Amino acid sequence: MNNNFNYFLKKFVYPHLFSLLFLLFLSFSSLLFSFISPLLTAILIDDVFIGKNLNLLLYIIIAYIGLYLFSTISSYFYNFLTGKLGVVLLKDVSESALMHVQGASIKNSQNFKVGDLITRIMGNVQIVTNIPVHIVPQIIVGIISIFVPFIIMIYLNLQLAVIAISPILFFCLLSFIFGKKMEKTQKIFLVENANVYSFLKEKLSILPLIKVFGLEKWSQDKFKGKMD
């Protein structure tokens, strides 16, 4: 398993390492407005409205607009580059997977159903390529988006910060409990999904025979059972 993962990283992920790091930067930049706007709001209330320092109002408005534009543009390019990189990785890994399947011995290739191979080459590959492009950046940015606001909240008011983050402990407990169950369910789903693909491939390939022998209802019932 480790060898396969290292092979995936070296052949497909490392060539796009700079792009992935740039995606992290764009993802963090898209959150700057949500990070800094509470501080600007605090200055607006304390210094402008309460302190009557109207000279700061124009600078705060400019800062609001500038941060919003910067975050919005960063978010646009993040989504654009994420989609583009995801398609490139999907293409490369799918082509490599098909090459390995075609290069395997007849004995080994017969151990897999056609639907299972289609699921692995297309469906499973898309899940794998989502890890470096979507999941890892989201985890890193998610961690940052937790700690940075927490630090800002502590800076503004320690007691309110503790009250605000207290539900997180309950959320972490639920994630730990249900995460294991979801992992087992997901494995079952992948197997059943491959069976459905195999069934459709086999039945659609003999569709004329099904129509000749009037087996449409039988085929439909079999499909319904697998989908259930």
Query: What's the token pair of residue 203?
Result: 């039945």
Whether residues 138 and 173 share a domain: the answer is no
Residues 18, 117 share a domain: yes
- pLDDT of 2 reads 56
**Helix, strand or coil, per DSSP, at residue 105:** coil
Domain range for 197: 167-228
Is 123 in the same domain as 180? no
Same domain, 128 and 54: yes
Contacts of 128 (CB under 8 A, 6+ apart): 8, 93
The CA distance from 174 to 128, in Å, is 26
How much is the pLDDT for 110? 67
- My answer on whether 177 and 152 are in the same domain is no
Residue (of 185, 137, 101, 123) closest to 20 by Cα position: 137
Which of residues 156, 181, 212 is at a domain's end? Answer: 156
In-domain check, residue 139: yes
64 and 119, same domain (yes or no): yes
- Domain count along the chain: 2
Instruction: Please indicate, yes or no, whether residues 100 and 149 belong to a single structural domain of this protein.
Output: yes
Give the Cα separation of 33 and 68 in Å (integer): 6
Is residue 21 in a domain? yes
Is residue 135 included in any domain, yes or no?
A: yes
Mean pLDDT by 10 residues, the chain (228 residues): 73 87 88 83 83 84 91 92 90 83 71 71 80 86 83 81 81 84 84 82 83 87 86
Burial tier of 123 (Cβ tally within 10 Å: 0-12, 13-18, 19+)? middle
**In Å, what is the CA distance from 135 to each residue of 67, 144, 163, 178, 180?**
26, 14, 29, 19, 18
Q: Do 48 and 144 have their domain in common?
A: yes
What is residue 1's predicted lDDT score, i.e. its pLDDT? 55
The answer to whether residues 89 and 70 belong to one domain is yes
- Does 162 map to a domain? no
pLDDT number for residue 159: 85
Rounded to whole angstroms, how far apart are CA atoms 4 and 128? 12
Where does a domain end: 100, 123, 156? 156
Using alpha carbons, select from 197, 11, 16 the residue that is nearest to residue 100: 11
Q: Do 227 and 147 belong to one domain?
A: no
Is position 161 within any domain?
no
> What's the Cα-to-Cα distance from 189 to each of 76, 183, 203, 220, 222, rounded to whole Å?
34, 10, 21, 21, 18
Burial class (CB in 10 A: 0-12, 13-18, 19+), 216: exposed
Contact assessment for residue 121 and residue 97, using Cβ atoms and an 8 Å cutoff? yes
Q: What is the pLDDT of residue 215?
A: 86
Q: Are residues 186 and 123 in the same domain?
A: no
Q: Which of 126, 156, 186 is the last residue of a domain?
A: 156
- Please report, for the domain that includes residue 91, its CATH number: 1.20.1560.10
Q: Is this structure's pTM higher than 0.85? A: no
Same-domain check for residues 180 and 152: no
Q: Where are the alpha helices (DSSP H) in the chain?
A: 2-8, 17-29, 32-43, 55-103, 106-109, 114-118, 125-130, 136-156, 158-205, 207-212, 216-227
